Amino acid sequence: MTYPSVITTDNSRKVSPLPKDLDRLRMPEHIAVIMDGNGRWAKEKGLPRTIGHTAGVEALKTTLHLCSNWGIGALTVYAFSTENWSRPSEEVNFLMTLFESVLKRELTNLKLEEVKINFMGDLDPLPIGLKDLIKESVESTSNSKGIHFNVCTNYGGRRELVRAAQKLAERSVKGELDPSLIDENVFASELFTASEVDPDLLIRTSGEKRISNFLLWQLAYAEIHITDVLWPDFNADTLAKALLDYQSRRRRFGGV
Ligand code: FPP
């Protein structure tokens, strides 16, 4: 086990026991999630897309809490992709403001629940207020002993790979790294996920069957669970179903 198992110290919510049909010994260590379908969820209800994102935050809080309680070591979510800037500016601005207000509001709870938060992606173009809060939340939870919660923000898998290649090239040019010694481990050490094991399970909501530039390197051997449920409706039952599906697979990592 790479991640320490933690008894939650959260006193703001009830502890959620692991559903009986799940095998505690065969839980994924790391779950990655593409939280898709906020817009469609809102549209179905005749509401603006932004309400879908607000509802998506509640589904994320529930998922993080459950993963923490059910012994998952790391949860990595796709909050904002490098391609999401092409959405209407009102929606982009709404999302930035939402991230900031949620972080501000939830930081105390995240600390209580021993969550270690990290942000993955190119954070430079984010609004200054959000960047400051990200810095504060990462620093103030850096010694947390619980679940690793990675929020991919202005993240793109291809961009991450190019960035890693650039970093390795720079080290080689400076004479710090012999190019012939670059192997998979050295390469992975330059990714945002350097301190994580690769995800065992990828969950994508809203029925889309794509990876969409998410964790291209890290998902090489992940089991993929796709559900038609729209992200704001994701809850304990749908997470348990994804985990049951995962536990029904025989992972072969290319072997027989
Ligand atoms: C995809 O649904 C969802 C997003 C691009 C945003 C996800 C963000 C959250 C759930 C909030 C996370 C908050 C924090 C603080 C990390 P979509 O808009 O693409 O839905 P659609 O495909 O139905 O249009």
Please check whether residue 41 is in contact with residue 235, taking contact to mean a CB–CB distance below 8 angstroms. Answer: no
Distance from the Cα of residue 27 to its chain's centroid: 17
What's the domain count of the chain?
A: 1
2 has pLDDT over 60: yes
| Domain presence at residue 18 | no
Any idea what the CATH number is for the domain that residue 60 is in?
A: 3.40.1180.10
* Cα–Cα distance for residue pair 102/155, rounded to 1 Å: 19
Residue 2 in any domain: the answer is: no
With respect to residue 176, please indicate whether it lies within any of the assigned structural domains: yes
Asked if the structure places residue 14 within a domain, the reply is: no
Question: Which domain covers residue 211, as residue numbers?
Answer: 29-247
Write phi, then psi, for 240 (nearest 5 degrees): -60, -40
Catalytic residue, from 10, 36, 69, 154: name it: 36
Secondary structure letter of residue 252 according to DSSP? -
8 pLDDT more than 50: no
**Residue identifier of the C-alpha nearest atom 24 of ligand 1:** 39
Q: What is the pTM assigned to this prediction? A: 0.94
Per the domain annotation, does 252 fall within a domain? Answer: no
Give start and end residues of each alpha helix (H) in the chain: 38-44, 49-69, 89-112, 128-140, 157-173, 184-188, 236-247
Please tell me whether residue 127 adopts helix, strand or coil conformation.
Answer: coil
Q: Is 8 inside any structural domain?
A: no
Question: Within a domain: residue 7?
Answer: no
Tens digits of residue pLDDT in 28-56: 999 999 999 999 999 999 999 999 999 99
Any domain includes 9:
no
Q: Of all protein residues, whose CA lies closest to atom 22 belonging to ligand 1?
A: 37
